[in-house]
Amino acid sequence: MPEMLFCYCCRVHHPREQMRLFQTRHGPRWRCLRSIADARRPRDERDAFGRQQSTINREQARLDAERVIPWRSLAQG
């Protein structure tokens, strides 16, 4: 099994071959190649991705809220 390192940027473990030591103001940290490449994309593309992800998250939160059973109905039934 390959050695796995934690990417502080995307918060996922990746194989060491996909990681680079990245200098931050808090010292060196491991970061995956994908997150480094994504950070180099134009700002409007990153902003569009963020808006799309926010829409997805809001919809998921709405669906999760619909599935919650109120405590009163549990106590009564």
What pLDDT sits at residue 69?
67
What pLDDT sits at residue 2?
79
CA pair distance 3, 11, nearest whole angstrom: 16
**Token code pair at residue 71:** 């405590």
Please spell the DSSP secondary structure of 31-42, one letter per residue. Answer: EEHHHHHHHTS-
What pLDDT sits at residue 48?
96
What pLDDT sits at residue 37?
94
Q: Block means of pLDDT (10 residues each) for the chain, length 77 residues?
A: 90 95 93 93 95 96 83 58
What pLDDT sits at residue 66?
86
